[in-house]
Chain A
Amino acid sequence: MTRKKNASISATLATATCALLGTAPAAPVCAQEIDRWDFDTSLLYYGEDNSRVQDASIGLLATRDFLDDRSLSLGLTVDALTGATPSGANTQPVAQTFTRPSGKSVYTTPANELPLDDTFRDTRVALTANWQQPLGRMYSFNVGASASKEYDYTHVGFNARLARDFNNRNTTLSAGIALAMDDIDAVGGAPTPLSPMLDVGVLSNRMDSESKDVFDVVLGVTQVFGRNTVAQFNYSYSDASGYLTDPYKIVSVVDGITGDIVPRPPTPGVDGPSHQFLFEGRPDERVKQSFYGQVKHYMSGKVLDASYRYMTDDWDIESHTLDLRLRWPLGSERYLEPHLRYYTQTEADFYTVGIVDGQVLPAYASSDYRLGNFDGITAGVKYGWKTRNNHDFSIRLELYQQRGDIPANLLIGNQAGTVSYPDLDAVIAQFAYRF
């Protein structure tokens, strides 16, 4: 058997194959590798009851995968917000009149109704960009930027993350940092914290635009526990500093015995607040730490996703979040995914329902319900289906409920009967299309 040399391998192979198969190939091979774009679009409606906040939003996320595991993703979201939000003032048995944040006019809340501030938060546009690539064989690297703009708030942020695989890629350790620089340009100017709400046209206690910086660090480990199970554990540290107060939220000045709102003598010829209100003031720093764990488990086609997060901060707020999802396939093209989320938080140490008239002002005070003591429950279901050309549709409908209570030690006199946490009922509806 002689050995042939210097003949082109593929030519010889082509002839040999012809002889083996007994026919020439039907057509020459035609193959190319392509990069592709993936698009994720969504339409969202969020609506609270009782004329409170409503939000409609459209989102687009475009991801392009390049060769060698590199990818770029770009996101755009546009939100349109309307509706009113609790201002921090309490329901009282008398009508209350407030000056609007702009300082240009007043609005009145009837007796026995929860005062809502409908400062118009119109449209928000947000952009994100993210680049991911491997670094050598075992590392991967992520860098991203984000920006958003609404009429009274501007945000710019950067983030970066490094991850390394261990144990045959069964364990991944990651570390990430993020920096955000936000500017707040409140309508009428942000008020000096804990200064009184003044008459129409008086903006003497307003400041220039404010800023807020947030620094985040996230350390994480992801571990494969078997063919069907993967879990993740993250530790996050966040430090926000600067103007952390909500410029539109107020705190009531109340009588030390009855707990009722204290009236304010009107200025002749000028509209103004009917009672005494102070603008809220929060500390200029907030350090938060979170511990987050998530497990995903596959059980003959169904996927269970369970996660828990514990958060604690130096405003004395503690929260627990438990989130459960079960993806239930219906055949090979459709699925149903019920979802349950339970959230509970305790109030900030400067949370109050009223500042007692005549006493020395505290350093910080806020009646914002979002810093209060409440439970939030979300229950919903998502239905998804895959089209003939492999595109994904899904719709989800969820109900979100907040029920809270004011700790007894914060209630004075009549407040036990009149003041309560402004419970929230909201609906979340989202339609998504991936292609």
Chain B
Amino acid sequence: MQLSPNLPTGSESLPRLDKGARAWELEPHGHFWRASFMAMGSPCELLCETDSKADAQMLARIVINEAWRIEDKFSRYISGNIVDRINSAAGADIKVDAETAGLIEFANLLYEMSDGRFDITSGVLRKVWTFDGSNRVPSESEILSIMRHVGWDRVSWTRPVLKMPKDMQIDLGGIGKEYAVDKVTGLLREQTSVACLVNFGGDLAVTGPPEQQASWQIGREALQGPSASPSSLIQLQAGALATSGDTRRYLLKDGIRYGHILDPTTGWPVAGAPASITVAADTCVQAGMLCTLARLRGPEAESMLVDEVLQYWCTWP
């Protein structure tokens, strides 16, 4: 079974199922059922190895509800949720719930592990950087002024209370998708012994190996987008894969390509990083963070991966 990230163009077999304005589709796919939907700005899918449409529907609902719950809770676009309350606190103390505390604690640890390069307060840099393939690069003074509002070390975090200076913002986009994949995989394991694969826009995990074939087979284009070479396959029996790539969003100026991952210590995009990194790890969060940490090292990405990761794939631009 080979995967692609594209939603099916017309599933004639079943009618679309709607949940308010959000839709999802369920269709048979060989001896699997495939549910597809949009979440966290990416095309998402669930593949489960069952002949029972009823089972597939139940599992799909679990996955989709959890994905949308996480999106609604941690998306910076939804007003009134915890992230919005933190970002509008203007210096006041905010007490967060256990799940949010867990994520913030994790982000804190990643900040230290990466010597400050992984920083959830760096989201405001997008006010001066828009990655649309054009050549509009901000000036040094624009970057200096926005950098006054970047820096996790300016934030006071004593679990469960967060106090952030005015004009600073947190963005959990760098952890959110991988976290959702792992939470969903955990729920699936509790519910069923059916082999499932969860793929949220290229970040994916499996509950176990399929029964009717040796392993899940994942084509490169499922991870890196349609421009990747489809020639090789990754066989996955257990664990997770995450991909970090700048093929989709970048700027091109004077022949220099600026990838969309920004270095919070400088305010500039990481230079000289690989075009795409894929990492296999026990969980999607680990895979995703290893990808990001490697990418933040720019040209040294591969040497970090060689030391730390058993299985990774790197493409240079």
Q: Point out residues on A near B: beta carbons under 8 Å.
A: 1-4, 8-10, 12-14, 16-17, 19-23, 25-36, 65-67, 69, 71, 169, 300-301, 331-332, 387-390
Chain A nearest CB from B45 CB (Å) reads 14
Closest chain A residue, CB of each to CB of B110 = A16
Please, which residues of chain B bring their CB within 8 A of the CB of A32?
A: 234-235, 311
Residue of B nearest to A298 (CB): B9
Tell me whether A19 and B106 are in contact in the complex, defined as CB-CB below 8 angstroms, given that A65-B231, A331-B13, A332-B8 are known contacts. Answer: yes
**With A and B bound together, what is the CA distance between A384 and B152 in angstroms?**
57
Min CB–CB distance A13 → chain B (angstroms):
5
Q: Report the 9 A-B pairs with minimum CB-CB distance, sorted nearest first.
A: A29-B239, A65-B231, A25-B282, A31-B280, A30-B237, A27-B238, A388-B30, A30-B238, A20-B106
Which of A14, A20, A67 is within 8 Å of B282, CB to CB? A14
A8–B307 CA distance with the chains assembled, in angstroms: 9
Q: Is B285 an interface residue (CB 8 A)?
A: yes
Bound-complex Cα distance A66 to B233 (A):
10
Q: Are B282 and A31 in contact (CB under 8 A)?
A: no
Given A13-B290, A33-B233: A332 and B304 interface contact (C-beta under 8 Å): no
By beta carbon, the residue of chain A nearest B287 is A29
For the complex, give the distance between the alpha carbons of A81 and B166 in Å: 85
Closest to B308 in A: A10
Beyond the given pairs A30-B239, A31-B234, A388-B30, 10 more chain A to chain B contacts, judged by CB atoms under 8 angstroms and listed by A's residue number, are: A8-B308, A19-B105, A21-B186, A31-B280, A31-B311, A33-B233, A34-B234, A65-B232, A388-B31, A390-B2
Q: How far is the CA of A14 from the CA of B281 in the complex (A)?
A: 10
Query: Are B280 and A9 touching (Cβ within 8 A)?
Result: no
B9 touches A4 (CB 8 A): no
Chain B residues within 8 Å of A20, by CB: 102-103, 105-106, 179, 285
Bound-state Cα–Cα, A69 to B227, Å: 13
Chain B residues with CB under 8 Å of chain A are 1-2, 8-13, 27, 29-31, 102-103, 105-106, 108-113, 115-116, 152-153, 179, 182-183, 186, 189, 207-209, 213, 215, 227, 229, 231-241, 280-283, 285-287, 289-290, 293, 304, 308-311, 313
9 contacts between A and B (CB under 8 A): A1-B108, A13-B289, A14-B286, A20-B179, A21-B183, A28-B282, A31-B234, A71-B231, A332-B29
Whole-angstrom distance between the alpha carbons of A61 and B109 in the complex?
53
A9-B308, A390-B2 in contact; A1/B208 too (CB < 8 A)? no
Measured in the bound complex, the distance between the Cα atoms of B213 and A388 in whole Å is 11
In the assembled complex, the Cα of A4 lies from the Cα of B109 at a distance in Å of 10
Most chain A Cβ neighbours within 10 Å, of B105, B108, B235:
B235
CA distance A26 to B10 in the complex (A): 36
Minimum CB–CB distance for B247 against chain A, Å:
11
B235 & A31 in contact (Cβ 8 Å cutoff): yes
- In the complex, are the beta carbons of B113 and A12 less than 8 A apart? yes
Assembled-state Cα–Cα distance A124/B184 (Å): 58
A3 partner, pick from B2, B115, B308, beta carbons under 8 A: B115
Q: How far is the CB of B180 from chain A (nearest CB, A)?
A: 11
Decide: A28 and B238 in contact? CB cutoff 8 A.
yes
**Which of A19, A29, A36, A301 has most B Cβ within 10 Å?**
A29
Among A14, A22, A27, A71, the most chain B Cβ lie within 10 Å of the Cβ of A27
A2 — nearest CB in chain B belongs to which residue? B112
